[in-house]
């Protein structure tokens, strides 16, 4: 009788006010790559946390290699051969690569044999095709290299199953290709990989099967070759999405936002551009081109200089901090929402209140009634899925966290809105909601700066596109000029 390599049977998990998983059965074979997909809040993270021993199920059983397992902690799961590589990597950046790879698993006999660990690490890295000195500090590596260290760490723990949670979110196209090659090598070694991603094109390239969750239930499963892209989207969101990239804004001739010779020393070199009223102005470029620093500089979060900045004809004299930007009607929906956009230990209502204190208080006191009303209004307007505005933001899904960030700043009624990678790490349905919101804000006369690494959304939604290469503008595209080919040429300095 065939024994399924991994079987999670009838898994149910409830949190206060939320049924996160409802009798979900998840199974995969040895050496199989399984894509686990679903909207934010569908239950993917909860299922993985149960597999990795972070949570225990209310009901259900886990079998690995035919043997029932009871993971009471992450250590139990690791010892059984389950490793999870989260989007936010948990590495000790001040330690060398070899120390990270064997952290917690160092063979101990009269002390730690560092030379032995270096040699073992070198062999593992060679298997992954990763040519790097095991003695280099992890903090000196780039994101994709750190990810390879995390994979090497999993292999050092003799992982039988490796879960990769949004592994390509911050990688370049070349780095993604290298990661896929490594996944194929892991598969040949008999390692099973659970691949979680919102990028469906990648799923079709790397996975053997797909499991689809929606609202805590499994709604689809099978070999990937039996599904189309639209099939998966329809199952994920429970409806057919007719228009993936809705565009219905109408730019006007009036200039809403103008900058001359704007620079962020060391990152962005003297850019001059203007955004019209109601325009979605795209900003594109490869990783390291300066677009992230441009966003932070315009918001006063990085030191910047400029000869002139105008917002609806008002001259902006200084941008020494985000407070200056907020006072002048400019907001940033930041690229790293957990680091720059939210206070994770605070509730939804507290996060939404932070940049809007002037709206819910007077010189004497803060009105919690007004604050609660504001938060509840944001929850309704932006369709934030939360059991209560008192819920801690860290307990929300990624897509709903992003909606909190958007809501807290949009309620300031800004004139200029900078959206930096607003759809990173959120599901298909939430992406379409963000796109519609951009159009709606533009049609209210706002100036939208849309910064993204996702070329299809830049091409489909932008009225004009400014392309950056090494901190300089290499092209300003409009109309039929806005193609992925032209953007890539300019982004590599060819145009």
For residue 371, the domain's CATH number is 3.40.50.300
DSSP H or E run through 25: strand 18-28
Output the pTM of the full model: 0.70
Q: Are residues 174 and 208 in the same domain?
A: yes
- Shared domain for 430 and 390, answered yes or no, is yes
CA distance 494 to 268: 19
Quick one: 291 and 431 in the same domain?
A: yes
Q: 273: pLDDT confidence band, cut at 50, 70 and 90? A: very high
**457 lies in some domain:** yes
Average pLDDT value for residue range 69-81? 92
Residues sharing a CB contact under 8 Å with residue 53, sequence separation 6 or more, in sequence order: 71, 72, 73, 74, 75, 76, 77, 78, 82
Same domain, residue pair 416 and 285: yes
Q: Where are the alpha helices (DSSP H) in 164-314?
A: 173-188, 200-206, 229-237, 291-298
Are 402 and 456 found together in one domain? yes
pLDDT at 329 (0 to 100): 92
Of 168, 169, 211, the residue nearest 44 (C-alpha)? 211
pLDDT digits (tens, 9 = 90+) for 225-251: 999 988 998 898 777 766 789 999 999
Do 232 and 196 lie in a common domain? yes
| Length of the chain, in residues | 495
- Average pLDDT in the chain: 88
pLDDT tier at 47, thresholds 50, 70, 90 = very high
Q: How many domains does the chain have?
A: 2
With the C-alpha atoms ordered 218, 224, 227, 230, is the resulting torsion angle positive or negative? Answer: positive
Task: Examine the pLDDT at 132 and tell me if it is beyond 90.
Answer: no
| One domain for residues 15 and 138 | yes
Do residues 214 and 276 both lie within one domain?
no
| Same domain, yes or no: 169 and 197 | yes
| The last residue of a domain, from among 177, 203, 237 | 237
Q: How far apart are CA 495 and CA 486, in angstroms?
A: 8
Identify the residue with better confidence: 247 or 402.
247
pLDDT, tens digit (0-9, with 9 covering 90-100), for 316-371: 988 889 999 999 999 999 988 888 889 999 999 999 988 888 877 776 777 888 88
pLDDT of residue 144: 74
Q: What is the mean pLDDT of residues 254-268?
A: 94
Q: What percent of the chain has pLDDT over 70?
A: 96
Residues 454-474 pLDDT 10s: 888 999 999 999 999 989 999
Q: What is the pLDDT of residues 90-113, one digit of tens each?
A: 788 889 888 888 887 766 665 677
How confident is the model over 406-454, as pLDDT tens digits? 888 988 889 999 999 998 877 777 788 889 999 999 999 999 999 998 8
Determine the distance from the C-alpha atom of residue 213 to the mean position of all C-alpha atoms in its chain, rounded to a whole number: 19
In a domain, 275, yes or no: yes
Domain span at 43: 6-237
249 within some domain: no
388 and 362 assigned to the same domain: yes
By the 8 A CB rule, do 148 and 74 touch? no
Quick one: 272 and 154 in the same domain? Answer: no
In this structure, the answer to whether residues 215 and 324 fall within a common structural domain is: no
Assigned domain for 64 exists: yes
Residue 452 pLDDT = 92
pLDDT of 430 reads 79
d(CA 112, CA 117): 8
Listed range (125-134, 271-280, 346-355, 418-427) with the worst mean pLDDT: 125-134
Q: Name the domain boundary from 237, 263, 285.
A: 237
Residue 238, judged by CB atoms within 10 A of its CB (0-12, 13-18, 19+), counts as exposed
**For 321, phi and psi rounded to 5 degrees?**
-160, 165
């Amino acid at each position: 009788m065939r024994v399924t390599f991994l079987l999670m049977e009838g898994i149910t998990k409830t949190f206060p006010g939320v049924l996160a998983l409802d009798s979900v059965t998840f199974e995969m074979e040895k050496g199989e790559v399984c894509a686990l997909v679903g909207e934010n809040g569908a239950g993917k993270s909860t299922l993985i946390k149960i597999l990795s021993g972070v949570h225990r199920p209310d009901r259900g059983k886990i079998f690995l290699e035919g043997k029932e397992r009871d993971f009471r902690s992450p250590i139990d799961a690791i010892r059984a051969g389950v490793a999870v590589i989260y989007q936010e990597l948990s590495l000790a950046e001040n330690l060398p690569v070899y120390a990270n790879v064997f952290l917690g698993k160092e063979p101990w006999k009269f002390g730690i044999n560092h030379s032995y660990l270096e040699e073992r690490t070198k062999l593992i890295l060679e298997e992954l095709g990763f040519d790097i000195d095991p003695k280099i500090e992890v903090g000196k590596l780039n994101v994709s290299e750190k990810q390879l260290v995390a994979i090497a760490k999993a292999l050092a723990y003799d992982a039988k199953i490796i879960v990769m949670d949004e592994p390509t979110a911050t990688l370049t196209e070349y780095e993604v290709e290298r990661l896929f090659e490594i996944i194929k090598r892991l598969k040949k070694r008999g390692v099973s990989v659970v691949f979680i991603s919102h990028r469906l094109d990648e799923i079709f390239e790397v996975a053997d099967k797909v499991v689809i969750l929606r609202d805590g239930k499994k709604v689809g499963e099978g070999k990937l070759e039996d599904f189309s892209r639209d099939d998966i989207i329809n199952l994920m969101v429970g409806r057919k999405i007719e228009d993936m990239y809705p565009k219905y804004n109408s730019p006007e001739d009036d200039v809403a936002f103008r900058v001359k010779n704007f620079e962020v020393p060391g990152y962005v070199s003297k850019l001059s551009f203007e955004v019209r009223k109601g325009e979605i102005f795209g900003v594109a470029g490869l990783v390291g081109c300066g677009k992230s620093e441009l966003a932070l500089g315009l918001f006063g979060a990085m030191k910047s200089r400029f000869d002139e900045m105008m917002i609806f004809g008002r001259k902006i004299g200084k941008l020494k901090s985000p407070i200056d930007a907020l006072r002048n009607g400019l907001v940033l929906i930041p690229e790293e929402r957990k680091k720059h956009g939210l206070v994770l230990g605070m509730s939804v209502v507290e996060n939404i209140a932070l940049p809007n204190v002037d709206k819910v208080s007077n010189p004497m006191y803060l009105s919690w009634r007004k604050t609660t009303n504001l938060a509840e209004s944001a929850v309704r307007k932006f369709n934030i899925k939360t059991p209560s505005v008192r819920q801690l933001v860290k307990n929300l899904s990624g897509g709903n966290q992003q909606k909190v960030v958007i809501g807290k700043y949009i309620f300031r009624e800004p004139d200029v809105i900078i959206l930096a990678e607003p759809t990173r790490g959120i599901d298909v349905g939430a992406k379409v909601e963000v796109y519609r919101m951009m159009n709606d804000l533009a049609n209210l006369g706002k100036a939208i700066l849309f910064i993204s690494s996702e070329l299809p959304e830049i091409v489909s939604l932008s009225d004009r596109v400014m392309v950056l290469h090494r901190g300089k503008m290499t092209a300003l595209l409009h109309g039929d000029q806005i193609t992925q080919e032209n953007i890539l040429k300019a982004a590599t300095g060819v145009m």
